[in-house]
Amino acid sequence: MISKRLLWVHGAAYPLENIVRVHTFYLTPRRGAAFGRFLKRGGSTLLVLVFLMWISDSSSRGWGSSSDLADVLEPLMVVVGGVLIYFFVEMLAVLFAATHHVLAVETNGLSTALVTAPREQLTELVLSIAEAIHKPDAELHAHVAAPAVTNYGNYYFGDAVNIYGGSGNTGVSK
């Protein structure tokens, strides 16, 4: 909703004069990064599990009774197996996460508002918000939803920019 030079998004007010960019894009999960993270975490966890199984097997064939060691190793192997399952489920959650078509409202500060709706409605909203920035008497009412995202760290946001050089960067290459 735009009223009195303010854009209201889910209870937050954004002054229209502070908006620097309004655009639509696809909010895509970082599937490759999630798979790589699973390979790294899951691989090291699997190595620990294999090592614990090797210790358990070699101690059971030892000279004496090693029930004390087995009493410690068996619950530890169950915990490590549970951690491995957790890492796998965490990867699956990102692999099967949906891609969302969203509208982003960026301000000259650090805040960004994200909303989702059908693509045509989002395109119309970009034009309406841009028009409202230039027209002081503009009013706008639209119903949109918040993206159903549980962890924004698993998604790509905005443009991918490579900055070359050390401190005092002045150029950007896309």
Block mean pLDDT (10 aa), the chain, length 174:
82 87 91 96 94 83 62 89 95 93 88 88 91 84 81 72 62 55
Residues 80 and 122 occupy one common structural domain? no
Domain of residue 39, residue span: 31-95
pTM of the model: 0.68
pLDDT of residue 165: 59
pLDDT of residue 170: 61
Q: How many domains does the chain have?
A: 2
Residue 113 structure tokens: 């508002």
pLDDT of residue 12: 85
Query: Is residue 174 one of the residues assigned to a domain?
Result: no
* Total residue length of the chain: 174
**Beta-bridge mates of residue 22:** 105
pLDDT of residue 135: 84
Q: For the segment 93-107, what is each residue's pLDDT rounded down to a tens digit?
A: 999 998 989 999 888
Q: How far apart are CA 15 and CA 159, in angstroms?
A: 24
Residues 14 and 36 occupy one common structural domain? no
